[in-house]
Structure 1
Amino acid sequence: MFIEERKARILEILDNKNRVKVDELTEKLQVSESTIRRDLQDLEYAGLLKRTHGGAVKAENTGFEPTMDEKEEAYKEEKLEIGKKAAALIKDNETIILDAGTTTLQIAKSISAKNVTVLTNSMVIALELTQKRDVEVVVTGGYTRKETLSIVGPLTDKIIQNFRVDKAFIGANGITIQDGCTTPNMSEAHTKSIMIQSSKEVYIVADHSKFGKVCFSQIAKLDEINGIITDKRVEPQVVEKFSLQGVEIIY
């Protein structure tokens, strides 16, 4: 099979399944893993797909949402860096909201302040924080999303509306000057917006790859947030553009 034929076959398989693994492609196309990985790299460069840990997905659209496993594997070091920086903003005796997500999970792991109360809609974060003696955890009710292990819905939103906190740390899948902060799922977006309304200070936490992307549902406009905490790989011109809009980039 010629190279272009193989690449066309990869796209055909992906078109039928939305997601595909490297080992699956090696078996179907009878070539080595290194060959498949080179093909996937070429196809990603051409904008025809997006590589993930161990495979690939269709090229992103506004409704695309990676799985929790895929999120955990992406930009691990950057998320750790963001988590430490965000946790440093949390002071003793404060009340905060931690949105569900792999980046906010790193914040939970890095909290060192004393007598902190955390309101969260994340089952994973709630479990993580039970190990910290100086943190009290309040978990929202609602229905669970398997994709993000989050709790969302009308009950979740109603519970959050009963609280007022000092700071909120919210994840986002896309950030642009024109569209603000966005995420693929409507329920997630609505819950995030309620969290923002219940907070005195709001920080978006997102690695550099989220800048310039737009997803289906808007979380917040830029004038609704206090800052964006990201990693050091964010481009200087991006920082400058957001600064001109009055948005602080913290990294």
Structure 2
Amino acid sequence: MFAEERQQKILDMLNSESSIKVMDIAVLLNVSESTIRRDLQELEEKKLLMRTHGGAVGINNRTSFEPSFTDKQDERIDQKHSIAEVASEMIEDGDTIILDSGTTTLEIAKRINGRDITVITNSIDIAAELSEKEGIEIIVTGGSLRLNTRAMVGHLTESVIKNFRVDKAFIGANGVSIEDGITTPNFIEAQTKKSMINYASKVIIVADSSKFNNVSFSVICPVKAVSMIITSKDIDEEVIKQYAEIGVDIITA
């Protein structure tokens, strides 16, 4: 089968399904997974689909696509470690902070080394991680648990957050765009993140460079509402300049 024919079959699959997996395509077309990955890369370069961890989604589905917590855990892991190192160094003794649920913020939790720190989180994973550390008071928000992202969200979560004022909030995002703001696929989760931002003196977005110029379905806040963005060092210098012009610092890790 020629590459063009194979790629057309991939696009046909995306027309009938919201997402596809490399493994499934390889079995169906009887080729290697590496061949399918090359096909997906070429199709993405032609702007015919968007690659995801282990597969792809159609262009029409990309704003609503939401990778699971498990899918994201191993994705760009070195960048997440570096971002978490920089973020954790910003946490000082005596700080009160919010740690949003997510794989990058979980890495921050693993690296917190300080005394008399209060952490508010809507993440069961972060709460479990911090429970092993001394000198940290943990406040778990409660709320409805979203199985896909392992985040507690909703009115109960927001009502707890409203009772506090914190020094810093570390927030994850699926999309970062000057025009469209900080975005995430799920509306309810976006509202919970918005509540976290509203009650923090300093708002720090933690997102690797792949999130820039991506736009998801639900807006969390405009870019100008955040204090800074910590991202991976492979981000384009021109992007850093564009954000600096609107008063948003980008810290590379």
**Superposed pair shares fold, TM > 0.5:** yes
Paired residue total: 251
Cα contact 1:52–1:70 (8 A) shared by 2? no
In the alignment, residue 15 of structure 2 is paired with which amino acid? Answer: D
In the alignment, residue 51 of structure 2 is paired with which amino acid? Answer: R
**Residue 229 (structure 1) aligns with:** 230
> Structure 1 CA distance, aligned partners of 2:179 and 2:4?
38
> 1:226-249 CA deviation, whole Å, 9 max, x = no partner?
111112111111111111111111
**Residue 16 (structure 1) aligns with:** 16
After TM superposition, give the deviation of residue 163 of structure 1 in Å.
0.9
**Residue 74 (structure 1) aligns with:** 75
More displaced, 137-146 or 11-20?
11-20
> Structure 2 CA distance, aligned partners of 1:221 and 1:206?
15
After TM superposition, give the deviation of residue 221 of structure 1 in Å.
1.8
> 1:118-150 CA deviation, whole Å, 9 max, x = no partner?
000011111111121222211111101111100
**Residue 120 (structure 1) aligns with:** 121
> TM-score, normalising length from structure 2?
0.93
CA RMSD of aligned residues (A): 1.6
In the alignment, residue 156 of structure 2 is paired with which amino acid? Answer: L
> 1:195-239 CA deviation, whole Å, 9 max, x = no partner?
111111111111111111222221122332211111211111111
**Residue 100 (structure 2) aligns with:** 99
Cα contact 2:176–2:223 (8 A) shared by 1? no
> TM-score, normalising length from structure 1?
0.94
> Structure 1 CA distance, aligned partners of 2:21 and 2:180?
33
After TM superposition, give the deviation of residue 81 of structure 1 in Å.
0.7
> Structure 1 CA distance, aligned partners of 2:17 and 2:171?
31
Cα contact 1:114–1:134 (8 A) shared by 2? yes
State whether structure 2 residue 62 is matched by structure 1 residue 61: yes
Cα contact 2:162–2:199 (8 A) shared by 1? yes
**Residue 86 (structure 2) aligns with:** 85
In the alignment, residue 55 of structure 1 is paired with which amino acid? Answer: G
> Structure 2 CA distance, aligned partners of 1:179 and 1:33?
35
After TM superposition, give the deviation of residue 53 of structure 1 in Å.
3.4
In the alignment, residue 83 of structure 1 is paired with which amino acid? Answer: A
Cα gap change, 1:26 to 1:158, in 2 (>3 Å): same
**Residue 43 (structure 1) aligns with:** 43
> Structure 1 CA distance, aligned partners of 2:70 and 2:48?
22
**Residue 26 (structure 1) aligns with:** 26
After TM superposition, give the deviation of residue 178 of structure 1 in Å.
2.2
Cα contact 1:130–1:137 (8 A) shared by 2? yes
**Residue 154 (structure 1) aligns with:** 155
Structure 1 unaligned spans of 5+: none
**Residue 144 (structure 1) aligns with:** 145
After TM superposition, give the deviation of residue 108 of structure 1 in Å.
0.6
More displaced, 154-163 or 37-46?
37-46
**Residue 175 (structure 1) aligns with:** 176
In the alignment, residue 30 of structure 1 is paired with which amino acid? Answer: N
State whether structure 2 residue 122 is matched by structure 1 residue 111: no
